[in-house]
Every structure is written in structure tokens, then in C-alpha cells.
Structure 1
């Protein structure tokens, strides 16, 4: 365990006045799936097109222990299918992982396929707190008619969906703001969390958040030295970040990041939007969204 980094993160928490962190974008998945993801990054896959060393290439129990040492009080197990027939199995694994990992918000996923409404309903009724949709890796249109009842179900249940819909680090057939804009026009109450702040189409996704009150954005990789190299955030949009301070959420992509966890936090701090903004982004907004408090995860019986 990296005691030095833990100390730096604890110093950040003390400096900002935070009791801990809520991270809406962390990855835990079946070990053989995660190993394939890491192999993809190692091979400089076509979606990344760049060297991408994995900083936290550890066994699962060590990764869980690291997040706790970092002061992360609640996090997710973002996982996603790239073909039909995977999502239900991934959801079963995620339910089991959350059951044995009290600080993890039970996470689920989906894919446009026969039976998707059934297994999404099962996941919601079983206690899923957040979904992941990856339009880039899954290469599907969020407006696929097979998903329409699913979006309605999730909107009615008020279960947020973290969606990778921006075109970074490489565009996909269905990435960008236009497909998500069409989706929200039909389901304006759908609680979407735009991953990576919509990188690189930051301004367009900020506009969607300004138009739809249930749209939020997570900070994953945004403002870091790594992210700024290929998708710099426009300086003129910083004021809009401040105005949307109640709907920006900390996300990091742990463990699949090519730099230390503390760098994401310090990258947010150097925006100079103030400690109140940082407290909301790194903790308060997640606490409110997921109904967390100092004694439990919103009725789940899990201790923070």
C-alpha cells in the first residue's frame, strides 16, 4: 500500500474540509474481464491510441483497501458489455461484489438486446444504485428502440446512469452530444451522469446539463495533465462549471489510470473554484444523489 499517497490525499481532505470522498467512476469487474481490459490498454488499443500504463494493477482486495486508505467512502463497480449476452452475467457478479464490499454502491449495466428490460428491472428491484452505459465500447445507439422501455424504467426509478458518450479518447459511431440529446428529448427526467465531463465535447454536454436538471457530469480524467494533452478543457467554460457545481461529481477511473489518484484531486483543486465547490463535487453531491449519510448507504444497511 502507498502510505505516501494516502497521506497526500488525507492532507487534501483536511485542506478542503472534507470527511471523505464519493467516487462515482471506479472499475471493479470479474478478474478475467479486467485482465482483458488491462491487456487492451497495454496493447495501445484503437480506442485509446496512446500509451496508457495502469497505475493500480493490483489484486482486487488490495484495490479495495487502497480506496479505503484514500478516504473513499463510497464508490462504484463500473462494468460494461461489448456484445450481447454479457450484461446479465456482469450484473450478477456486481451484485455479489457489492454484497461483500459494503462501501461499493451496487452497480449494473445494460446492452441493446432481447431481454434487456427484464434484467434491468431485476437489477433495479434487487437494489442496483447506479448503471453504466458505454456507447463507445458497446458501439450502440442509446436511441435503439430496445432500450426505450429501459430508459423509462430507470427514469421512473430515479436510478442514475453513468454514460460514456463523449468522443474521447477516440470517436465512436454513436458518441457525441447529438445521440444523447435525442435521448433526453424523449426522456427528460432520465438521471444521466456524463462520464469524463463529455470529453472532448465539454461545452456541448455542459449545455445539456444546463437544459436538463437531471443531467450531471463526472470529472473522470478531466483537467489532469494526461487528459489536457489530448482534450484540453476550454478556459472560457470554467464559469459554467462553477454554476453547475451542484451537478458535478468526482470520478477517477480507478484503477485504470496512468497517474496517481491524488493527481485527479489536485487537478480539480488547481481550477481555483473554491473549497465549497470542491466539497460539493468530491463528496456532497454524491452523498445527496445516492442518499448517503454518516451511518449508511441510504437504507441499504451498508456502513460508510
Structure 2
């Protein structure tokens, strides 16, 4: 198995939070062999992905920027999809201002990843965006970073909309199992949000997953409890298929 981390960030050199050195240390400590990376500074992400062949970049977009033609060019140059962060960039996830970028994703046949959390990134709003672009695959990063009700609504939308996928950063192993049971093993992806906890992201103490597990503890427990074929889908196949990653 060659595990893929479907959700990482890098914004600067070094071993501080979201530093390039921190990301490398975290991913190696978790046994990851590929990762999908994004940050608001697309140029720096391009540099990082060029330096490390196992990093695959997304294009971060927000209403009003970057230029849609620049986005198309980055997708032609190898970016695997788009990243939206309505909470960080302060816009509602279903705003029409995103439509030019969603059309670019539709034309290129690439997925769109969206931070999913309370407020402007609520799954109800993301579902409306997915309804407007029914041929575009969407990934709800974190599934929902907030109270359990939001996660249940995210699952309900995924059951209704076949193009919605759930990513599991900050979800404990029992939560991951429930998500797989709810929507099926083909639409749940592993992601870590590294390196928001620095180089020890996968092994941090106190535990960072629902205050009960580290990422590595969660992965080991899932390896013990999931069927091998389901574990491979979760850790590798789903992300490779969605983002067009080669082994």
C-alpha cells in the first residue's frame, strides 16, 4: 500500500507551523507516500510541489481572484483541482462569485475541495454549490469541523449527491468507520491537515484527534478493524482516482 494524504498545507520554509520542513517530517512520520497540498499563496505551493515530486498541488481560489485564465493555466500545468476555504476567505460557499472557477474545474474534469465548518463553509451551502455543478466532484474537507449535527448533515448531503466525497482530517477512527458505513467505502478519503501541528502532527501528545488519538494511533486501529480492501480504498485508491494520481 502507498498511502495518500488528501489534505495538507505549506506556506513557508522551515519547521514552524505549516512550514515545508514540518510538512515533510509529519508526512514521513505517518508513512505517507503522496499528499495533496494547497495554500492561499499558489506560487509558493508551486515551488514546494516542484521540489518534492510526491506533492500534488491544488489551486486556491476565492471570489475575485486569481484570474480564471490563470487557474486554467495552472490546471493545464498539472494542478489536480481547486481549493476553497469560505471561512478563511470570508465568503458564503454557495456564492455565484465562485462560478467562473467551478466552470474551469468542470472543463478540466478536476475535483473541488472545500473546507467544511460552521458559518460560511456550512455543508448546506456546499451542497447548493454541488447542485449547481452536478458533474464536478466535491470533497468536504474535515467532513465538518464542528459539532456532530453538522457532520450528520454533511453525511445526509453525501447520500443525496453522488459527487460529494468526505475527507476525514480531525476525525477519530470510530468516526471514520461510521462515515464509511454511512456513505460507502468509495467516497471517504484520508486526510490529515498537516502540518498545522508542526512536524509532530501525526504523533502529537496530547492526542489531537477528538482528544483521544493521534493520527498514527487512528491509522493503526483502522488497519486492524477495516477489511483490507476497504482500508486500501480509504488510504489510497479513492484519492488516486479522484485527483488522478499515479503510483
TM bucket normalised to smaller: 0.7 to 0.9
Alignment counterpart, residue 107 of structure 1, candidates 38, 50, 58: 58
Q: In 2 relative to 1, CA 234–127 (structure 1 residues): closer, same or farther, beyond 3 Å?
A: closer
Q: In 2 relative to 1, CA 274–187 (structure 1 residues): closer, same or farther, beyond 3 Å?
A: same
- Alignment of 1:285 with 2:245, yes or no, is no
Q: How does 1:28-177 map to 2 (within 5 A)?
A: 28-31=10-13, 38=17, 60-61=20-21, 63-68=23-28, 70-80=30-40, 90-113=41-64, 115-167=66-118, 172=119, 174-177=120-123
User: Which 5+ residue runs of structure 2 have no aligned equivalent?
Assistant: 198-203, 209-213
Q: In 2 relative to 1, CA 253–238 (structure 1 residues): closer, same or farther, beyond 3 Å?
A: same
Measure, in 2, the Cα distance between the counterparts of 1:24 and 1:234: 15
How many matched pairs? Answer: 230
- Alignment of 1:196 with 2:138, yes or no, is no
Q: Deviations over 1:132-170 (max 9, x none)?
A: 211111111123222112112112312222211222xxx
- Alignment of 1:21 with 2:3, yes or no, is yes
Rg larger in 1 or in 2? 1
1:273, CA displacement in angstroms? 4.0
CA RMSD of aligned residues (A): 2.8
SS, match of residue 72 in structure 1: coil
Residues 136, 163 of structure 2: 8 Å contact kept: yes
1:128, CA displacement in angstroms? 0.8
1:240, CA displacement in angstroms? 0.8
Q: TM-score, normalised by structure 1?
A: 0.67
Alignment counterpart, residue 249 of structure 1, candidates 164, 189, 209: 189
Measure, in 1, the Cα distance between the counterparts of 2:177 and 2:53: 39
1:235, CA displacement in angstroms? 8.9
Q: In 2 relative to 1, CA 129–235 (structure 1 residues): closer, same or farther, beyond 3 Å?
A: closer
Q: In 2 relative to 1, CA 236–69 (structure 1 residues): closer, same or farther, beyond 3 Å?
A: closer
Q: TM-score, normalised by structure 2?
A: 0.80
1:69, CA displacement in angstroms? 5.2
